[in-house]
Structure 1
Amino acid sequence: MSRIVIVGNGPAGYRLAQLLGARAPESDITVLGEEREPAYNRVLLTDVVAGRLAAERTHLTPLDRAGVRVRTGVAAVGIDRHRRVVRAADGSLHPYDHLVLATGARSFLPPVSGLVGADGALAPRAVAVRTLADGRRLERLLREGGRAVVLGGGVLGVEIARALTERDCKVDVVHRGPHVMDGQLGPDAGRVLSSVLERFGIRVLAGRTATAWTGDRLELDDGTELPADLLVVSAGAVPEVELARRAGLRVGRGIVVDAYLCTEDPRIRALGDCAEVEGRVSGLVAPAWEQAEVLAGVLAEAPAGGDLAGEVPAGGGGRGYAGTPALTRLKARDVDLVVLGEGDREVPGSEVVTVADAARGRYARMSVRGDRVVGAVLLGFPGCVAAVSQLFDAAAPVPADRIALLVGAGAVDGTADPAALPGQAVVCRCNNVTKNDLVAAWRAGARERSALVRATRATTGCGGCGDAVADLCRWLGAADGEARPEPMRPALAR
């Protein structure tokens, strides 16, 4: 029996424990979670902020398999690599054969005077939304019809700003970059997105730096003072690596691991927001769950006693983590924005097609190289998202009429009709659920949308595939016994 200790009960640690409970039922699995909350879906925090979802509705299904113990409210504080023991803050010791660090990340707090007290805690009317406890604190601070400032105009900052407007707050967004979401969007798309946000009462102040928080106003470097009842900090995240650093493991931006998520200690691995793979750290759910799939395959075959070299997975084969195709879908009500692959970035040797209607908040830019989509920004063009995404996922040739594709007049065959959608088409990217997976689950007895969700986990990531799953569910009900999984076809190489 292999003893596996997972430090972290966030989405990555939870998903790994869930997979191992099924694939290695003989293993003894302990999950240590610093938060007292049960595992929950962090992606849904903005829904809590908006008042669309009760905090408890974000909780994930409890891990009730034999051999899986979840300890909430128990923080790991030390690792004895020689004795192979994790020490917790409550004094408990947890011996391991294999240790997985899924410690996640914490909010970055910029150097703003008055933001953090001498005790290291945020000022009374400031909150950084990273955890469910943060979401509850924000709810307590919210005043209907009040004024809020969001410090940071990245993806989460934009989502929070829009969520606050749903609570009738007047919102200012202060962003150091040249425009909102400058990590994903170029200047033109950024300007169009700002104009869309302004229609919801969100004022964007880009290219500005906050200097001081007084408790009722935020002061900027140009002398501007923004009155506010609440300051929400969304200035990025920092991987939690201190536990690994104290244990003598190699740390860069994150905990450095190889393609099999292994550190230089063959007994210790890392995944999710805290892991650095080939110099990259991801803060998204989809990469974390793909890494969990890889790691579950390795650890399910790992011997309890012998060392397991990181570069040679158990069993002598198996795939390593090769990266997750970049996809950002903004979770902001009535703002349709999807960024695929290289997004707005210039791709050498590519053909670029752009459609813009700034007055109506619409912008689309697609980069095509070798007749394959390598990047796209789709803002205000929901009709083409399914078609372009399918082409990107399958590395399939794009139609000759690129403009018709972007405006939704030249959709790829089958993108709108569930019956014609290819079986290998990915419906839920967060959990890599294909149409075939949904059909197989239906035929196995999951005859309602909620049952399909439980069986495949579709919609439990960002939730952006909810309509597509509902459409497939209706089609499956009408097709009844005729729907069957299709043979997989190899995707074209990118």
Structure 2
Amino acid sequence: MRLVVVGTGMAGSRVVSDVRARDKRVRVTVFGAETWQPYNRVLLSNVLAGTATPEIVRLHDKAWYAEHGVTAVLGAEVTAIDRDCRTVITADGRREPYDVLVLATGSRPFVPPIPGVELAIPFRTLDDCEKIVEAAGRARRAVVVGGGLLGIEAARGLAGRGLPVTLLHVAGHLMERQLDAEAGLVLGETLTALGVEIRTGAEVTAITEAGVEVTGGLVEGDLVVLACGVRPVVDLARDAGLHVERGIVVDDEMRTDDPSIFAVGECAQHDGQVYGLVAPCWEQAAIVADLITGADTAARYRGSRLVTRLKARSVELAAMGETHLTEADAEIVSFSHRRTGTYRKLVIRNDRLVGAILVGESAAVGTLTQLYDRGGPLPGDRASLLFPGLSSAPVADSPVRMPDAAKVCRCNNVTKGQIRACWEEGARDLAAVAAATRATTGCGGCADAVEGIVSWLCEQEGVSV
């Protein structure tokens, strides 16, 4: 079988590695428009902040491709699909035949149509990251446009380099899609304490050499970073005559309306939803790999339950599910302490957790994530969920009480039971567990939990590390 994957981002790379893990015989060719070896885009904020290098965030390298018999063509944009001949065509005229084609074209940054926007740098790729870091070295002040997840990570990273930063956001509070107004306010105050000036309700009208013009004046800055959201890259699919709406429309098998073509990741639209987080992309990749190789012909994608984690130094945030419901629609349990940068909110319906927001450090994150994932009944004492340390009940994210089915790494769907199994097979530290299960290789937010489980297992068995 000849498999061609278009895209070397996180979804495309995962398809390649999952297919190869299931079947050594499939002939795999992957095309990437970027010249970089595939990298973990989730960790680019760490590169921007100077806490990671491009080498650290790499997913695959030349040696991996050679070892696994995969042909990787980098710096080669696929510009056309000949569906009649089952061939993809690159910008330089290369033609590659396929039996099965996977489109993992990802998304591109949205660049608002405002005067002077070419003076700004989008924050999306490793090339963008390098440009921003280079410009930051000679800049006096930075302005970040966009108060979503990526914009906050960019602003925090630049502030961590000692650069004065102003974050502009058009909505009334930060991360308005995931957070309610109180949570957005607490998050903004936390960032302000870390050196990021926050201006919400700021409509950008132009970008100049002096800074960013907004309604009401000029925000000075000689480095302007754009983080205004993304749009799925669907041109290739649309030009090939595939069904495209906001994304490339797929069914539960992640197939397009051409049965020989799949789509995964940020370019795919499943059941009306386009996912922008890594965990759904990797879930989709696993389904496609199962179907292509025949490892599980019954595999189907049923959608994902999203948990958003903010990855910025000294900023702890998790949001999941239906966070904007009111008392009229659900039971709301909340606590806010702005002085300490703490906000916690539960959204409960039919005695099930359907949404939650946690701003500030909280031991409840693991417990609430598990309850949200599994949809199990909640204890009558709701306060014990927000403040697990005040309750005599066992904490679910303690390794002793955590069931083997509990999901520890959401990005890679790794459970405590899988961590225990690979430990029993000889994995005795975090690096060995990550190599065996991929836990911690997504956003990295589960590293402490995984390390805690490994340490606990070693203590239980008297194993020294």
What is the TM-score normalised by the length of structure 1?
A: 0.90
Task: Return the letter of the residue paired with 2:167.
Answer: V
Partner of 1:167: 161
- How far apart, in 1, do the equivalents of 2:141 and 2:7 lie? 35
- How far apart, in 2, do the equivalents of 1:417 and 1:154 lie? 32
Matches within 5 A, 1:26-425: 26-62=25-61, 63-64=64-65, 65-116=67-118, 123=119, 126-143=120-137, 146-222=140-216, 224-301=217-294, 315=297, 318-346=298-326, 349-408=329-388, 409-410=390-391, 413-425=394-406
Structure 2 counterpart SS, 1:336:
strand
Task: Return the letter of the residue paired with 2:302.
Answer: A
Question: Conserved in 2, the CA contact under 8 Å of 1:387 and 1:412?
Answer: no
**Deviation for aligned residue 1:348:** 6.6
* Aligned-CA RMSD value: 1.8
- Structure 2, unmatched stretches of 5+, are none
The reply on whether 1:478 has 2:454 as its aligned counterpart is no
Task: Return the letter of the residue paired with 2:28.
Answer: I
**Deviation for aligned residue 1:154:** 0.4
- How far apart, in 2, do the equivalents of 1:20 and 1:388 lie? 33
- How far apart, in 2, do the equivalents of 1:434 and 1:481 lie? 23
Question: Conserved in 1, the CA contact under 8 Å of 2:45 and 2:157?
Answer: yes
- How far apart, in 2, do the equivalents of 1:45 and 1:190 lie? 23
Question: Conserved in 2, the CA contact under 8 Å of 1:390 and 1:426?
Answer: yes
Question: Conserved in 1, the CA contact under 8 Å of 2:146 and 2:168?
Answer: yes
Structure 2 counterpart SS, 1:382:
coil
Question: Conserved in 2, the CA contact under 8 Å of 1:84 and 1:96?
Answer: yes
Structure 2 counterpart SS, 1:172:
strand
Q: Alpha-carbon deviations, 1:279-322, whole Å to 9, x = none?
A: 111111000000011111111129xxxxxxxxxxx84xx13111
Task: Return the letter of the residue paired with 2:359.
Answer: L
The reply on whether 1:466 has 2:460 as its aligned counterpart is no
Task: Return the letter of the residue paired with 1:370.
Answer: N
Q: Alpha-carbon deviations, 1:331-357, whole Å to 9, x = none?
A: 111111110111233487521111111
Q: Higher mean Cα deviation, 424-433 or 198-207?
A: 198-207
Question: Conserved in 2, the CA contact under 8 Å of 1:216 and 1:230?
Answer: no
**Deviation for aligned residue 1:256:** 0.9
Structure 1 counterpart SS, 2:102:
strand
Question: Conserved in 2, the CA contact under 8 Å of 1:145 and 1:168?
Answer: no
Question: Conserved in 2, the CA contact under 8 Å of 1:326 and 1:342?
Answer: no
- How far apart, in 1, do the equivalents of 2:385 and 2:258 lie? 49
Task: Return the letter of the residue paired with 2:8.
Answer: N
Q: Residues 169, 28 of structure 1: CA spacing in aligned structure 2 closer, same or farther, 3 A cutoff?
A: same
The reply on whether 1:454 has 2:448 as its aligned counterpart is no
What is the TM-score normalised by the length of structure 2?
A: 0.95
Question: Conserved in 1, the CA contact under 8 Å of 2:31 and 2:77?
Answer: yes
Q: Residues 27, 66 of structure 1: CA spacing in aligned structure 2 closer, same or farther, 3 A cutoff?
A: same
Task: Return the letter of the residue paired with 1:284.
Answer: L
Q: Alpha-carbon deviations, 1:402-442, whole Å to 9, x = none?
A: 12320232386343431321101111001111011111111
Q: Alpha-carbon deviations, 1:115-135, whole Å to 9, x = none?
A: 12xxxxxx2xx2111111111
- How far apart, in 2, do the equivalents of 1:90 and 1:205 lie? 45
Q: Alpha-carbon deviations, 1:40-75, whole Å to 9, x = none?
A: 100110000101111221101444454421111111
**Deviation for aligned residue 1:445:** 2.1
Of all paired residues, the percent bearing the same amino acid is: 42
**Deviation for aligned residue 1:390:** 1.9
**Deviation for aligned residue 1:237:** 0.3
Moved over 6 A (4+): none
Structure 2 counterpart SS, 1:91:
coil
- How far apart, in 1, do the equivalents of 2:307 and 2:72 lie? 31
Task: Return the letter of the residue paired with 2:408.
Answer: V
- How far apart, in 1, do the equivalents of 2:205 and 2:409 lie? 41
Question: Conserved in 1, the CA contact under 8 Å of 2:139 and 2:222?
Answer: no
Q: Residues 290, 481 of structure 1: CA spacing in aligned structure 2 closer, same or farther, 3 A cutoff?
A: farther
Equivalent residues, number: 459
